[in-house]
Amino acid sequence: IFAAVEMAPRDPILGLTESFNADTRPTKVNLGVGVYYDDNGKIPLLAAVKAAEKARLEAAPPRGYQPIEGPATYTQAVQNLLFGAGSDLIAAGRVVTAQGIGGTGALRIGADFLKRLNPGATVYISDPSWENHRALFEAAGFPVETYPYYDAATRGVDFAGMKAKLLSLPAGSVILLHACCHNPTGADLSDAQWEEVVAACREKGLVPFLDMAYQGFADGIDQDAVAVRLFSASGLQFFVSSSFSKSFSLYGERVGALSIVTASKEESSRVLSQVKRVIRTNYSNPQIHGAAIVATVLSSPELRAQWESELAGMRDRIRAMRTGLVEKLAAKGVAQDFSFVVKQRGMFSYTGLSADQVAVLQKDFGIYAVSTGRICLAALNAKNIDYVADGIAQVLKG
Ligand code: PLP
Ligand code: TYF
């Protein structure tokens, strides 16, 4: 049966972690994968999560099947976080939310539903984008193309190129947008640019699909939701995939959600029925634990306040690492201006390091980065930042 099976390519990012794990050098640093580590280099277990888990363990609830779209306590909490607690859309019954297996699973439910809805559409992702976006939408049967996004010269967004491309697309095209903390570049749109994207989607009849994997990692929970809020105010229909992997440090629990904004409450019930059909034929209904923890934290004023402060702590630490890296590179005599690293948002930076330089960093220093030059700032800490700055400085001096 398997004689002709070929070796599939590794995921370029998760594959890097496999190489990192096999590296025996004690000084090794993994700047590849997008995971938040604390200052001790550990993935944190948030205190708010720990408290909710303790309460849950003591309550010892039964483990029946969940509703196909996840429990209402969870889906309502997701909606409040994305659209704002006082959202008119929520009140009008115009938001449909289903729990997803992480943000990835949410994207896939959305992709499968879209394929049924609009089988002839093309999906447009940013150039560059998270590696899995293309693979996932292609696996769902869509052709995937790109719109201009990153401008290496300014280390910002080529907004003129992006807008011109959006305005050239046929109606019904699906536009995948990073709601904040763009992965891999760290370059985000301004609020005014988001308004122009909303206007372009309206003018051309595009299908917006916002991917929100890092809410709270740029400026704050509501500030980072500005794209969702602007699309909400526009009257358009759109998709949002969201994830708690990063914001709750619950990576392996696989907690995310797909939300769809419809035109009416009546439309919502039809849309939900189709989303449930997609879920049923994939995995029947979602797992309990992670979503229960998130729902508990978000619905308890004390735990929510604790979570917000822990999230702010993660955000501030990443910012401090950005500033620290820039200062240390300058102190080590690097002539090139790295101040752009401080302006980028979220976990990542496109450093401008070439694939060859990244390979030398890995070989000579055990510092792992993505071959595109993307590094995860959240993997830096007080103990390794000097070593990393030194490695980068040496590689740059060639
Ligand atoms: N979307 C983007 C832009 C991401 O960077 C990630 C990273 O993990 C995801 C989606 C997937 O999130 P999850 O790990 O919750 O599946
Ligand atoms: O971009 C990253 O590093 C994170 C983690 O297939 C990730 O989003 C990477 C690759 C992948 C799944 C998650």
Domain boundaries, the chain: 14-45+303-397, 65-287
Task: Give residue 308's pLDDT.
Answer: 98
Q: How far is CA 353 from CA 30, 104, 329, 370, in A?
A: 16, 28, 13, 10
Could you name the CATH architecture of 14-45+303-397? Alpha-Beta Complex (3.90)
Task: Give residue 10's pLDDT.
Answer: 83
Task: Give residue 140's pLDDT.
Answer: 98
Q: How many of the other CB atoms lie within 10 Å of CB of 296?
A: 22
Instruction: Please give the Cα distance from 166 to 174 (Å, whole number).
Output: 10
Contact 16, 370 (CB under 8 A): yes
Task: Give residue 15's pLDDT.
Answer: 87
Which ligand is nearest the CA of 379, by number?
Answer: 2
Task: Give residue 9's pLDDT.
Answer: 87
Active site residue 211: yes
Active site residue 130: yes
Give the Å distance between the CA of 359 and the centre of ligand 1. 25
Catalytic residue among 112, 158, 188, 211: 211
Dihedral of CA 283/289/295/298: which sign? Answer: negative
Residue 169 has pLDDT above 90, yes or no: yes
Instruction: Please give the Cα distance from 43 to 160 (Å, whole number).
Output: 39
Instruction: Please give the Cα distance from 189 to 44 (Å, whole number).
Output: 29
Mean pLDDT of 178-207: 98
Task: Give residue 144's pLDDT.
Answer: 98
Closest residue by Cα to residue 94 from 241, 255, 272, 230: 272
99 three-class SS:
strand
Closest residue by Cα to residue 96 from 229, 230, 264: 264
398 pLDDT band, cuts 50/70/90, is confident
ipTM surpassing 0.95, yes or no? yes
CATH number corresponding to 65-287: 3.40.640.10
Q: What ligand 1 atom has the least distance to the C-alpha of 211?
A: 1
Over the stretch 23-68, which tens digit does the pLDDT of each residue have?
A: 999 999 999 999 999 999 999 999 999 999 999 999 999 999 999 9
Instruction: Please give the Cα distance from 260 to 239 (Å, whole number).
Output: 5
Give the Å distance between the CA of 256 and the centre of ligand 1. 9
